[in-house]
Every structure is written in structure tokens, then in C-alpha cells.
Structure 1
Amino acid sequence: MGGGGGYGFSPSDKKHLEESAKKRIQEAGEVKMRNVFISFAHEDMAEVNLLRGQSKNDTAELEFSDYSVKKAFNSEDSDYIRRQIREKIKDTSVTMVYLSEKSMKSSWVKWEIEQSKKMGKGIVGVYKGDIPPAQIPSYIKDNVNSIVRWSHNEIMTAVNKASEER
């Protein structure tokens, strides 16, 4: 009748869990989490989702909280959409611009860069591959802290530097 059934943790299990938790807390204190807005063209969603996924991997050196719009706003009211995006950017320290053919032609990406600059955010351009895009528009080149390739170390270094320099 009733009763717990003895499924509790042993004292040695509790001690091991406590030591593990303390170690993870200490390690987490050493890593600075950055709040990042990712600016990209909607057509690049699959690649940006890959970047988001990599940042959540426990073994990745890339550590940031993504404050980007994950799902398109269900509205055709551009003023409403701008307000919502502005709020997302406001809560970040850095805007990361995914540099693709489509994003570099996007009026929304241009607007997000302008807003990020107005709010004093650091801005980092990220490209996939070994060679940066040949034709990066001046509104990007003139407003970014740096342009780096899609590499965990390069992105994290650029994000940290842009956050500190803003």
C-alpha cells in the first residue's frame, strides 16, 4: 500500500550530481553568452537554421542566444513587422549578417543593419566557404565591425570583439 518504493538517489549519486552541477556552473561562468540578432534573407533559412543548431551544440565553441525572428510575422503591415524586429534587435549586443547573394540584395537586411547601427549594436558579416563574396554592398562593408567566414572560432571572436567595441 502506498509508499515510495526506494527509487531515490544514493548519497554517492547525490554527491556525484552535485559535483557535476558545480563544475558545469563554474565552466558556464567562464563563457560569455552573447545575445545575437541574425539578419538574413528568408530564402537562406535552411543555412541559418544550421548555424543556429551549431551554436546550441554542447561541444561547439560558438555560444550565443539567438534573438532573431524564427517564424515570419503573420502580417502584411510593414510598420508592425519593423516594430517587432526592432524589439528583437534592441535586446541584443550584436547583429550577425549572413552574407549570401539574396541577403545582400534584401531591403530588410539593409534596414536591419541600419537599425542595429542606430541602436549602437556591433555588426558582424558571416559568409560560407573559403572566400568572401566578391560584391559586398557598401551599406554592409561600411557598417560592419568585421567580415568573417563561417567558422566557430572566427565567428565567436568577431562577435565578442564587436560586442566590446560597440
Structure 2
Amino acid sequence: MIGNASSGELIRDEGELQMAIRRHVFISHHHADDETVSKLTGLMHAKSYEIRNSSIRAKPANQARIDKGLISERVIRRLLRMKMRWASTVVVIIGKETASRPWVNWEIETAYRLGKRIVGVYERGGTENDVPEAFKSYGDTLVSWNSASIMDAIEGRADPMEKPDGQQLAPRPGARKGCAA
């Protein structure tokens, strides 16, 4: 097992009982993409993986407090760092507004400083233009919305840099490779 991984609950797959594989991850995303986070964890669960996500998905009341400045950025950063330390891998959802989100870039930079494996996953409709600048510098692997590719990336079995359609991107000079999860 890798990093903070363990066996999970028994699940039924095509009539057979088998043990779900549990992975502790932090899913970095634009808060408007909360539904995509649920879709990602559901996709993985359907393939016998239990994703334990430690990221923050702000309820409307909490988001309003953040928007009004009632919760300081210092407090938010401390909370995010604590949650990131628990995870073995940081998964970045790459969607149409991801590149412009300062918190996503901060989370990627922080994951890099913490020595976390950083996996980008294009959401359906995501483009190469949606990849955050920090991910271009610090990301380990970037995959399309495909359960096998996503799990191989999270587990460190593969380090592709893909376009949203799954084709390979040109190699990046100076790209980070093979961060241990």
C-alpha cells in the first residue's frame, strides 16, 4: 500500500464480495465544482476504490462567512494545511475556472512544499487552458476523466501528462517526476 492507504469496507461487485481499496486524498477544486468532486468519488467507488477526501466543501452558510471576510485567510490556510497533511495525494480537479482560482494555486504550491504527489484530473469539458500555473510547475501527472487512469495516477503506477481526450502532451522541460506518495 502507498502513503495513507488501507483496506476499506466490503463491497459487492457483480455479485461477489470484495474489499474496497481506501485512499486518503485532498481534492483541490473551485467550490463551484463540488458536484464534480462527488462524481469523482462516485466513479472511483464504482471501481472498488473508497476515496477519503479531506478537502473543504463549504456549506452555503460557511461560504457566506468566508465571502464576508469573517474567517481570516490565515485560519483558512492553517485548516487547509492540516487537511492536506493527512492525505497521501492531492488531486486537482481541472475545470473551466480552475486556472483563475488563487486558492487552487495556493493548494498546489502548498502540496508541493509538503512533498505530496499532485495529480491533475480534467473534468468533462476541461481544456488545456484550464490548467493552473502552479500545476504546470509542480504537478506530477495529468489525466483525463477515466477511472483506470485516475487510480494509476493516484497510486503512482503511471505519470502521464495527458490532454483532456487522453492523448499525450508534449514533455515539459524541467517537469517534476515521480514524487513518492
If the length of structure 1 is used for normalisation, what is the TM-score?
A: 0.71
Q: Mind listing any 5+ residue stretches in structure 2 that lack a counterpart?
A: 1-11, 160-177
> What is the aligned-residue identity percentage?
28
Larger radius of gyration: 1
Q: Give the aligned partner of residue 109 of structure 1.
A: 104
CA contact (8 A) 2:22 2:49 kept: no
Q: Mind listing any 5+ residue stretches in structure 1 that lack a counterpart?
A: 1-19
Task: Give the whole-Å Cα distance in 1 for the aligned partners of 2:106 and 2:113.
Answer: 10
Q: Secondary structure at the match of 2:150?
A: helix
Q: Give the aligned partner of residue 9 of structure 1.
A: none
- State the structure with bigger RCO (CA 8 A, min sep 6), 1 or 2: 1
What is the alpha-carbon root mean square deviation over aligned residues?
2.6
CA contact (8 A) 2:29 2:104 kept: yes
Alpha-carbon displacement from aligned partner over 1:82-124 (angstroms, at most 9, x marks no partner)? 1111111000010000001212110000010111111110000
Q: Give the aligned partner of residue 55 of structure 2.
A: 68
Alpha-carbon deviation of 1:66? 1.2
Alpha-carbon deviation of 1:44? 1.2
Q: Secondary structure at the match of 1:123?
A: strand
Task: Give the whole-Å Cα distance in 1 for the aligned partners of 2:27 and 2:74.
Answer: 20
Alpha-carbon deviation of 1:54? 2.9
Alpha-carbon deviation of 1:62? 3.7
Alignment size in residue pairs: 138
Alpha-carbon deviation of 1:70? 2.8
Q: Hey, which of these two has a bigger chunk of strand by percent? A: 2
If the length of structure 2 is used for normalisation, what is the TM-score?
A: 0.66
Q: Give the aligned partner of residue 128 of structure 2.
A: 134
Q: Which amino acid aligns with 1:149?
A: S
